[in-house]
Amino acid sequence: MADLEKKFSDFQESECIPEPSDDTIGEKLCPTCQPNPNWVLPAVHWSDIKEAYLNESKCEYHVKVYEGEPIIKEMISKGASLDTAIIEVGAERIIVDTDKPLNSGIKTQVINASYIADNYRDEYSGQLGRAFLVACPAFNVDQIESNNSENSDKEDDTITSEEIIIDFVGLYDKFQKISFARRTYKFYYSMSQKVGDGFVIRQIDDETQRINYEETRKKLKKFRKELSSVLSKEGYPKIGYTGIFKSKRPDRIKFTFKNNGKRFSLDKVYVLPDDGCGKYKKVPVKSSSPLRYESMSVIYNFLSRLDLIIGQLTAKETPP
């Protein structure tokens, strides 16, 4: 009787293959954004916004790129068209500002979906040329797993040229010692050479070794404030604070840099919490953050030799 109830042989299958449920289809095709006609731009004009943002009325991510930026000029000098360079740089900024993994596959995906939506001349156009608005549909970005996902490290194929790891405890004091030393050396050399505040020691073949004491001191202060802001947004204490009332405290901070031929071109920033797990966690750094400025290469050069510099500053005898 059991054999009679068997409708198919061991080598047969029903032609009626079950179709996916409506829930599964809805999961795949459901848009990540619904146009909001009441949305208002958080600025007078889009050119006033530095970072990538979601334009809820169009369900697109928008970001500003100037045609006169050094990276654009460099790409054009290597054969890229203006539109191609603008879109590629804009797409990369959207990826970074939305905290998505920056790898070749994702970058290509976002570039292919992006376009130039507008251009405008603002108060900075005298130096940087026209400002271009790069747009990318929100769906193409939102479906990418964020850097906080379990698979983000596996998807990231970015090659880093070097990294810097510094201790969080005592970092503020070290910054203060370097800043004080910069101020002292500026005064000493200005007096001894009878020059003004703009005295600069230059090593022409390495930009990171050129020292303008006053400018370096200002950059160091700006770097500390920006890094504190980045840490604070992720729930960590600011540099110089103990973090008694914070649930998370950093043990170490790691900076990784892009392998793009430029020394100290910041890629990512990680924090090693003092929770005993021994695993670094990425902290987002916006594309417009001063931590990514090329001019900060001097500060990263200091950080790469931080303990050595502090040792020399606190030594009883001045090293030869």
Residues in the chain: 320
Q: Side-chain half-sphere of 230: how many Cα atoms within 13 Å? A: 25
Least confident of 68-82, 180-194, 214-228: 180-194
Confidence at residue 240, expressed as pLDDT on a 0 to 100 scale = 86
d(CA 38, CA 52): 20
In angstroms, what CA-CA distances link 253 with 77, 88, 163?
A: 36, 30, 10
- Cβ neighbourhood burial of 68 (10 Å; 0-12, 13-18, 19+): middle
> The sheet that has 281-283: what strands, in order across it?
160-167, 250-258, 266-273, 281-283
pLDDT confidence tier of residue 9, bands split at 50, 70 and 90: low
For the record, the structure tokens of 11 come out as: 């080598």
Residues sharing a CB contact under 8 Å with residue 27, sequence separation 6 or more, in sequence order: none
DSSP string, 114-176: -EEEEEE--TTHHHH--EEEEEEEHHHHHTSPPTTSTTHHHH--PPEEEEEEEESTTHHHHHH
Which comes out higher in pLDDT, residue 109 or 210?
Answer: 109
The DSSP H or E segment spanning 19 is none
Which of 92-101, 203-212, 239-248, 309-318 shows the lowest mean pLDDT across its residues?
203-212
Q: pLDDT by residue (tens digit) across 152-198? A: 555 455 555 589 999 998 889 988 888 777 665 554 444 334 444 44
**Cα distance between residue 172 and residue 185, in whole Å:** 20
**Domain spans of the chain?**
46-148, 160-313
The reported pLDDT for the residue numbered 13 is 53
Q: In one letter, which amino acid is 313?
A: L
- For the chain, give the percent of residues with pLDDT over 70: 74
The gap from C-alpha 236 to its chain's centroid, in whole angstroms, comes to 18
Asked if pLDDT for residue 58 goes beyond 80, the answer is yes
Question: Do the Cβ atoms of 55 and 39 come closer than 8 Å?
Answer: yes
